[in-house]
């Protein structure tokens, strides 16, 4: 695995302020202060036909497993002018926040995906984007803004690509120059603001060249082809999204974490392991001691809640977290005795 592909050069910028038109450049210093590593803007409209076709094929193949919400609101997903998004939309702002290694790795947190090692990123990104939305309204008094963080039927990574803040890798993740794929993104859709000039951007997977490191490293071979992840094979799907009482054996036997999976991100040659996390730390447990993975598997709801309240784990639900911890601890005991 080479950190630099032949014929490729990495951008020297950290905050991609040069993707913003002059009328929007005032957002760059504020975004930086709030912990974002990239911010861009794109004119509203429909997604490219290639992206729409990929989405339709993905749903038709059933690769979304039982996440039925992904198959709903198809027109809205492909068109930001749809009245269900924001009537009269003129611009979309996209920003990326680095989660890197997360805000902690103490105790059971080292078995949690880095993006969830802290206060729920949905909360963190929404709060920070709301600050930016207020700044937009101050600059453009007639503006109306709506903040999204996985909360609307919007093709977030496609719009991030079109905004110029990064590339889409074969894992399907957004890759931000100098940072890599370990970022979370959010959007502000605006009406009553200046429109954004169309800019030329890279095609999906172009940044990857011939690299297939993410596809090769996936323990369950869930990445079937560039940008296509079969959720029914994915560890993140089973440990975050699925509420089934049991994880299938052929999936559970590959679990080295109890919530999510970072494998495809950490092996990416564009990943920068020195990036600092912008996540807020998780709550301190009342007992003052961070629980172990064995504790999580056996403690009652009242105590477990103290450890995960306000985090993405709490949103997933305590029965699911306890299910995951038991499966993970079973594997961990096996590793320790080998």
State the catalytic residues: 150
* Sheet hosting strand 183-191, strand order edge to edge: 38-43, 89-98, 183-191, 144-148
| 237: helix, strand or coil | helix
Exposure on the CB side of residue 164, measured as CA atoms within 13 A: 21
Sequence-ordered strand ranges (E) for the chain: 38-43, 89-98, 144-148, 167-168, 174-175, 183-191, 223-225, 228-229
CB proximity list for 8: less than 8 A, separation 6 or greater = 207, 209
**Is residue 70 classed exposed, middle or buried when 0-12, 13-18 and 19+ CB atoms within 10 A define those classes?**
middle
Please write down the long-range contacts of 31-35, taking CB distance under 8 Å and 24 or more positions apart: 31/95, 31/132, 34/128, 34/131, 34/132, 35/97, 35/98, 35/128, 35/278
**Is residue 279 classed exposed, middle or buried when 0-12, 13-18 and 19+ CB atoms within 10 A define those classes?**
buried
């Amino acid at each position: 695995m080479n950190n630099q592909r032949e014929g490729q050069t990495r951008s020297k910028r950290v905050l991609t302020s040069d993707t913003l038109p002059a009328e929007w450049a005032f957002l760059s210093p504020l975004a930086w202060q709030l912990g974002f590593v990239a911010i861009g803007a794109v004119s509203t409209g429909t997604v490219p036909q290639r992206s729409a076709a990929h989405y339709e094929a993905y749903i038709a193949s059933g690769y979304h497993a039982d996440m039925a919400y992904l198959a709903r609101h198809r027109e809205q997903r492909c068109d930001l002018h749809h009245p269900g998004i924001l009537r009269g939309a003129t611009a979309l702002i996209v920003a990326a926040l680095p989660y890197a290694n997360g805000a902690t790795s103490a105790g059971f947190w080292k078995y949690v995906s880095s993006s969830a090692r802290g206060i729920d990123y949905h909360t963190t990104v929404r709060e920070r984007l709301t600050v930016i939305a207020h700044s937009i309204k101050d600059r453009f008094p007639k503006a109306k803004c709506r903040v999204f963080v996985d909360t609307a039927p919007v093709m977030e990574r496609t719009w991030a690509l079109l905004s110029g803040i990064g590339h889409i890798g074969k894992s399907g993740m957004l890759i931000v120059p100098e940072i890599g794929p370990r970022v979370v993104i959010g959007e502000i859709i605006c009406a009553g603001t200046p429109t954004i000039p169309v800019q030329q951007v890279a095609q999906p997977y172009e940044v990857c060249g011939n690299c297939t490191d993410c596809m090769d490293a996936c323990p369950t071979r869930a990445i079937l082809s560039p940008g296509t992840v079969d959720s029914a094979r994915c560890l993140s799907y089973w440990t975050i999204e699925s509420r089934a009482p049991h994880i299938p054996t052929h999936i559970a036997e590959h679990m080295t974490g109890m919530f999510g999976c970072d494998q495809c991100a950490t092996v990416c040659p564009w990943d920068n392991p020195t990036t600092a996390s912008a996540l807020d730390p998780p709550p301190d447990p009342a007992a003052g001691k961070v629980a172990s993975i064995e504790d999580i598997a056996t403690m009652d709801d009242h105590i477990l809640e103290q450890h995960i309240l306000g985090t993405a784990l709490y949103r997933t639900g305590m029965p699911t977290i306890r299910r995951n911890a038991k499966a993970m601890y079973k594997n961990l005991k096996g590793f320790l005795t080998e």
